[in-house]
């Protein structure tokens, strides 16, 4: 009995393993976090940036290593002139053979500086990879928010269309009963056609946004996108103080991190150029073989003489200017980032206030106004123009609400891009 159970269990495990090995479609997209997680692990561009950063890190150790030693052999008197022997290339059968072993050693501190320059380059590559990810994440957040806005706009457009069809039905009823004009019914039908056109355009834009999201994810073939379920919650106003965010920006902004690494690399490069005032040294040993024995030993010392001082001074001036350029570029990027942060914060505050005004005032009032106008129009107390105007006010209020919420998400993504982290 036990062996049968064991075999059955093994069969179940094998079947499960086989099922898990089969490719299956993945469904994501209900929340923006699922899109970001997928892109982080699958997007080829971000993977390439990480590979480049890893490659740059591998340059650090070789940059500070000693150059390979050099071995050289000199075969002397291979023709055996004056001897009772023919020409030969074997060391014991020629006049003498000289073996030269040499090792070049850079001046003190040069190896460490070269390693530091390579390390700064690796830090810059790592910062670029992080900046690339933040740029990609920002684009995904924006596309997700836009997709959500499109779907909400489609829902509102369908509701508006249903309302207008109701208005059209009322106008036709009034015209048939002799209480309304044919012009009202025609105008209502024109509005319906225009709104149907807008609905088709919104649906097309929604499909385009979904395609953009798939492209940002690396165009996975077996991926199914769920409609966005909700927008991200906005942080409380206390977390959006400019003074606090400015400090976080200076500490975490990936572009500034890359600039800092570039400055460090330029400074180390300048120091390395200054060390080139001093010569590199080569040490060598050279035994000389005569017949089958070593007849003599030689020690060698070689160094370059830094006579071209004008050329070196030009290189030093160039290196100093590169440091200045790196510092100025960082200051420019910092000023731009702070300006964009301030602008995005102001835009977020405006969008937040607009949403509050529309959701608590304009939209409820527009809904009440339309309901009142419809009731009055059915009873013949107002004309068709009043109903049409009320309906357009409702459409405008809904559009303003959707736009305000979308703007909030856009500004939030821009702020997080500047900060280099999520709020």
List, for residues 67-76, the tens digit of each pLDDT value: 889 999 988 8
End-to-end C-alpha distance for the chain, whole angstroms: 60
Confidence of residue 14 (pLDDT cuts 50, 70, 90): very low
Q: Do the strands 70-76 and 96-105 form a parallel or antiparallel pair, or are they unpaired?
A: antiparallel
Assign 241 to helix, strand or coil: coil
Residue with tokens 């919650």: 233
pLDDT in tens, 364-387: 999 898 888 888 887 778 888 888
The H or E element spanning position 287 is strand 281-290
**34-419 CATH fold:** Outer membrane efflux proteins (OEP) (1.20.1600)
- Mean pLDDT across the chain, nearest whole number? 84
In the predicted structure, residue 43 carries a pLDDT above the cut 90: no
Q: Tell me the mean pLDDT in the region 175-191.
A: 78
Strands 223-225 and 26-28: parallel
Sign of the Cα pseudo-torsion (346, 349, 355, 356, in order): negative
H or E stretch including 296? strand 293-303
Query: Per-domain residue ranges for the chain?
Result: 34-419
pLDDT above 70 (res 124):
yes
Averaged pLDDT for residues 400-420: 91
Among 112, 119, 117, smallest CA distance to 319 is for 117
Pairwise CA distance, residues 203 & 212, whole Å:
14
- The distance of Cα 417 from the centroid of its chain, to the nearest Å, equals 9
Tokens matching residue 371: 């309901």
Read off the pLDDT of residues 265-313 as tens digits, 9 standing for 90 and up: 999 999 988 888 888 899 999 999 888 888 899 898 888 877 777 888 8
How many helices and strands, by DSSP H and E, does the chain display?
A: 11, 6
The stretch 40-48 carries a mean pLDDT of 84
CA dist 68 and 167 (Å) reads: 88
Write the Ramachandran bin of 259: left for phi over 0, alpha for psi from -120 to 50, otherwise beta: alpha
- Using an 8 Å Cβ cutoff, are 125 and 56 in contact? yes
How many alpha carbons fall within 13 Å on the CB side of residue 260?
A: 12
Determine how many CB atoms are found less than 10 A away from the CB of residue 328.
11
For 239, the token pair is 């977390």
Q: 133 with 46: CB under 8 angstroms?
A: yes
């Amino acid at each position: 009995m036990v062996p049968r159970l064991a075999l059955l269990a093994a069969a179940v495990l094998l079947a499960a393993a086989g099922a898990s090995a089969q490719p299956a479609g993945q469904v994501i997209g209900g929340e923006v976090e699922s899109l970001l997680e997928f892109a982080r692990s699958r997007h080829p561009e971000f993977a390439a940036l990480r590979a480049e950063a890893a490659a740059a890190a591998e340059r650090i150790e070789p940059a500070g290593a000693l150059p390979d030693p050099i071995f050289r052999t000199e075969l002397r008197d291979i023709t055996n002139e004056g001897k009772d022997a023919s020409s030969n290339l074997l060391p014991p059968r020629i006049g003498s053979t000289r073996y030269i072993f040499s090792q070049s050693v850079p001046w003190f501190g040069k190896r460490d500086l070269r390693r530091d320059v390579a390390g700064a380059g690796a830090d810059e590559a790592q910062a670029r990879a992080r900046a690339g990810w933040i740029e990609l994440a920002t684009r995904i957040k924006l596309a997700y928010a836009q997709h959500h806005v499109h779907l909400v706009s489609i829902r509102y457009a369908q509701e508006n269309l249903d309302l207008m069809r109701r208005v059209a039905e009322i106008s036709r009823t009034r015209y048939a009963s002799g209480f309304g004009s044919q012009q009202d019914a025609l105008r209502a039908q024109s509005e319906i056609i225009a709104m149907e056109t807008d609905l088709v355009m919104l649906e097309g834009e929604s499909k385009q946004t979904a395609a953009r999201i798939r492209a940002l994810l690396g165009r996975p073939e077996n991926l199914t996108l769920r409609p966005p379920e909700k927008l991200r919650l906005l942080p409380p106003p206390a977390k959006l103080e400019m003074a606090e965010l400015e400090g976080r920006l200076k500490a975490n902004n990936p572009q500034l991190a890359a600039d800092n690494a570039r400055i460090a690399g330029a400074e180390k490069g300048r120091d390395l150029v200054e060390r080139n005032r001093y010569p590199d040294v080569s040490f060598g040993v050279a035994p000389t073989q005569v017949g089958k024995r070593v007849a003599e030993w030689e020690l060698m010392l070689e160094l370059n003489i830094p006579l071209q001082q004008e050329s070196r001074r030009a290189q030093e001036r160039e290196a100093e200017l590169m440091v200045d350029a790196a510092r100025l570029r960082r200051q420019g990027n910092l000023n731009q980032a702070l300006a964009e942060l301030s602008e995005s914060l102001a835009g977020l505050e405006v969008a937040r206030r607009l949403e509050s005004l529309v959701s608590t005032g304009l939209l409820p009032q527009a809904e009440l106004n339309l309901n009142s106008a419809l009731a009055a129009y059915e009873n013949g107390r107002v004309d068709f123009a009043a109903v049409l105007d009320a309906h357009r006010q409702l459409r405008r209020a809904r559009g303003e609400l959707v736009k305000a919420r979308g703007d909030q998400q856009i500004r939030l993504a821009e702020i997080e891009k500047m900060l280099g982290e999520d709020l």
